[in-house]
Amino acid sequence: MAAAAHMDLVYQFIDATTKLALAQRLLLFALPLVLLLHVASRSRRKQAKPLPPSPPRLPVLGHLLHVGARPPVSLRDLAARYDPGGGGLMLLRLGTVLSLVVSSPRAARAVLRTHDHAFASRPPSRIVDDLVYGSSNVGFAPYGEYWRRARKLVTVHLLTAKKVRSYRAARQEEAGLVVAKLREAAAASAAVDVGGAVNAFANDIICRAVCGKFFREEGRNRLFRELNHMTTVLVAGFNVEDYFPGLASFLGVFTRFMSNKVSQTHQRWDMLLEEIISDHERRRIADHWSGAGGGGGGGDDDDDEEEEETDFIDVMLSVQEEYGITRDHIKAILMDMFEAGTATSSLVLEFAMVELMRNPHLMAKLQDEVRRNTPKGQEMVKEENLASMAYLTAVVKETLRLHPPAPLLIPHQSMADCDIDGYTIPSGTRVIINAWAISRDPKSWEKAEEFMPERFMDGGSSADIDFKGKDFQFTPFGAGRRMCPGANFGLATINIMLANLMYCFDWMLPEGMEKEDIDMTEVFGLTVHRKEKLILVPKPPHDTFAHPMHT
């Protein structure tokens, strides 16, 4: 037994010695390979292009504290300090998320045109996923086959120039309702909340386009307005998971609170949209059996521009199988329409009125144009009168320049490593386009901080610049693949209402208030709005020849 044990020890020793020798040989063989790989790696690192400039950052928080309560302003100031060359690219770590800030027309062109294919996606968001049916709306959907189908549906069937024209009578009718209320206030010399009035108008226009003439049933238009506000607050608010995605499990109480708010809002949206879609399905069935037809695909094949007004829900139900979209997809796209359609139009209208009140000589110039180009005795401006109102167009463009409704646009996300101006932009980087800063860049704009509609008139310094995605110093609707498809719809809403506000009324500030007293403090989020309400007093116009009722 002792001899056997002794032999076992001998064999173990020999086995260990053999293994050690083998390991030594492997090490000697692998060492040159390891050194070679190390040298090659260092060489690649030296050859790789550097990251864009970046400010000093704090542990864990990164650059979050640099952003502050006015992100477009603080990001512009940071870029001026840490991007002295003016290339317009700055890299931040917002929490644990790598974020590229774009602050110049040249950099915006690189992201939105030259490398548009690499930056065409959206960063993931748990809140948007839970609110909007897995981010299946057009605005937030990740780049891919579904997004392409949804975008095509919207651009081909819902927001074409012809479809926008088909709502001409609806816009006229809704504008007339606003004007009637304002005339009541003018007769009583009462002050009105102009921002609230134009927000209700923009919401009612989109409600009518989406739901048809029954949108006021059971106060649905007011409910849509309330849900729009709740959605904006949730999406634009500070969401910890967006900046620290790996810490969600450690933030249980906070995330549960947010999840409950999001869930409640989503459920309210879902119940309302389901009810309205079901109403449309019942009407389509009844129309079919009565031989009236179901509204078809929106009438885009009809050459008559005065086509019958068919709402978005009818159109989407008619093409649902063709585009392979589900009921939830329809609801998500409708939510997109409400959010984008209401916010853009109402914010631009309110800011236009604010700037005109601060510049009475410009308001007088616009009123003169509108009243000269509207037939004498006509009670309201009609859309066919707008074509000859070049200064109206210039006022709207200048308002969009100084006050873009989405000052940081909707963030993009890089889908692959990309080189821009000698810098490497890693895959997965969130991209923030500071449209607010770009449209106030003194290198691109004369007297950039002043409200000067004349710059967009013939002979003006920026007469040839437009917002259709080709001039990157002016991108209030974005550019490239992810450009907002609803620009024409929004502009049609803005133009008819602003023209009638100028035609039907003279405007005064409340007694004791001067134009210098107007508070221009802005509150930034997904969109930007004024902190204070715009309270004005409408008066019947001095040139009463415009209105038979006042002669």
Annotated binding site: 484
Q: How far is CA 366 from CA 356, 357, 392, 446, in A?
A: 9, 12, 6, 21
**C-alpha–C-alpha distance, residues 517 and 519, integer Å:** 6
**C-alpha–C-alpha distance, residues 336 and 209, integer Å:** 13
Tokens of 504: 């039907």
Decide: 410 and 115 in contact? Cβ < 8 Å: no
* Cβ neighbours for 94, distance < 8 A, ≥ 6 positions apart: 62, 63, 64, 67, 243, 430
**C-alpha–C-alpha distance, residues 111 and 345, integer Å:** 26
Residues 450, 436, 473, 534: what is their CA dihedral angle, to the nearest 10 degrees?
A: -50
Element (H, E) at 28: helix 2-47
Residue of 43, 52, 60 lying closest to 87 (CA atoms): 52
Decide: 106 and 433 in contact? Cβ < 8 Å: no
Q: How far is CA 503 from CA 129, 165, 380, 551, in A?
A: 44, 22, 7, 15
HSE, CB side, 13 Å, CA atoms: give it for residue 173.
11
Across 309-417, the runs of DSSP E, i.e. the strands, are 412-413
HSE, CB side, 13 Å, CA atoms: give it for residue 18.
6
Tell me the DSSP string of 444-464. Answer: TSTTTTS--GGGGSTTSTTTT
- The alpha carbon of 467 is separated from its chain's Cα centroid by a whole number of angstroms, namely 14
Three-class SS state of 506:
strand
**C-alpha–C-alpha distance, residues 255 and 180, integer Å:** 46
Annotated binding site for heme: 484
Decide: 157 and 323 in contact? Cβ < 8 Å: no
Residue type, 33: L
